[in-house]
Amino acid sequence: MRLDLSGVCARLGATEVLGGVDLSVGEGEFVGLVGPNGSGKSTLLRTVYRSLRPTGGVVVVGGDDVWGMSAREAARRTAAVLQDSPAPDGVTGGELVALGRTPHHGLFDRDTERDREIVADALRRTGADAFAHRVVAGLSGGERQRVLLARALAQEPRVLLLDEPTNHLDIRARFELLGVVAELGLTTLAVLHDLDLAARTCDRLVVLDRGRVVAAGGVLETLTPGVMRDVFGVNAEAARHADGVVRIGYDAQPLARFGPGPVVEEQPA
């Protein structure tokens, strides 16, 4: 199932956070959404998982406007793994993952054997089975992140949205989690801050800056020295190495014109 945004605008308070975003993720494609802090990445995801209605433009999942369908239908098509999603008090990993089945149930339906199999499979695929009987609030950030991904998988979505899914993870767990996601073959749009990880994992990247798409395409087409300088404020160069992996070499110093820099007190003459 494809995801297509066209001309999407969004406001938060008086601020226009998205100023006409066009973005597509093809069936089974893994697209990384990157950009500096405050560029509108999380806001863009919110317009897709129906937490923030766009003020303009259209968000289409599988050929239909997500804001024109029922919340239940939208949840059958799209699942989101968000940063620091709160879990209800006392709920275990297994119970939280089972909540992913909700969009597939009628009001009075009970879990079926198939539901239990799907939940067990989601826990196994994300390496979260060890947390099935543990209270989610007592899990580490990385452990919780796996459970949240398992919940999203239990939802059996056709489109997966990830907002900084590797935030709490150690380096090995980062590779593992994104490897799991890549192998799912789902249509995936993931906000990632780690550009090296994004370059390794994603089929394509979309670079957002101040609510607008400034580059989209293959890793080397998007993370050009100009984009690294003008959007991210660093001197850096991405290059494909002999093993086929794109790595980014950074200058140690951020560019001076980004941010106020250190405060230097004037000395009396």
Ligand X SMILES: Nc1ncnc2c1ncn2[C@@H]1O[C@H](COP(=O)(O)OP(=O)(O)OP(=O)(O)O)[C@@H](O)[C@H]1O
Q: Residue 236, CB half-sphere, CA atoms under 13 Å: how many?
A: 24
DSSP secondary structure of 187-232: EEEEE-S-HHHHHHH-SEEEEEETTEEEEEESHHHHS-HHHHHHTT
Q: Least distance to ligand X from the beta carbon of 247, Å?
A: 22
Q: Least distance to ligand X from the beta carbon of 131, Å?
A: 26
Q: Least distance to ligand X from the beta carbon of 17, Å?
A: 4
* Residue with smaller CB distance to ligand X, 14 or 269: 14
* Residue with smaller CB distance to ligand X, 17 or 123: 17
Instruction: Report the Cα–Cα distance between both ends of the chain, in Å, rounded.
Output: 68
Interface residue list for ligand X (CB under 6 A):
12-13, 15, 17, 35, 37-43
* Residue with smaller CB distance to ligand X, 118 or 191: 191
* Distances from the Cα of 255 to the Cα of 1, 198, 209, 237, 246, angstroms: 41, 22, 17, 14, 23
Tally DSSP H helices, then E strands, for the chain. 9, 12
Separation CA 77–CA 152 (nearest Å): 11
Q: Least distance to ligand X from the beta carbon of 14, Å?
A: 7
* Residue with smaller CB distance to ligand X, 92 or 201: 201
Angle at 52 between CA 222 and CA 258, to 5 degrees: 40
* Residue with smaller CB distance to ligand X, 14 or 252: 14
Q: Least distance to ligand X from the beta carbon of 22, Å?
A: 17
Neighbouring CB atoms inside 10 A of 119's CB total 24
Separation CA 227–CA 208 (nearest Å): 10
| DSSP letter assigned to residue 162 | E
Angle at 240 between CA 237 and CA 243, to 5 degrees: 140
* Residue with smaller CB distance to ligand X, 46 or 158: 46
* Residue with smaller CB distance to ligand X, 35 or 62: 35
Q: Least distance to ligand X from the beta carbon of 38, Å?
A: 3
Is the separation of the CB atoms in 240 and 246 below 8 Å? yes
- Give the length of the chain: 269
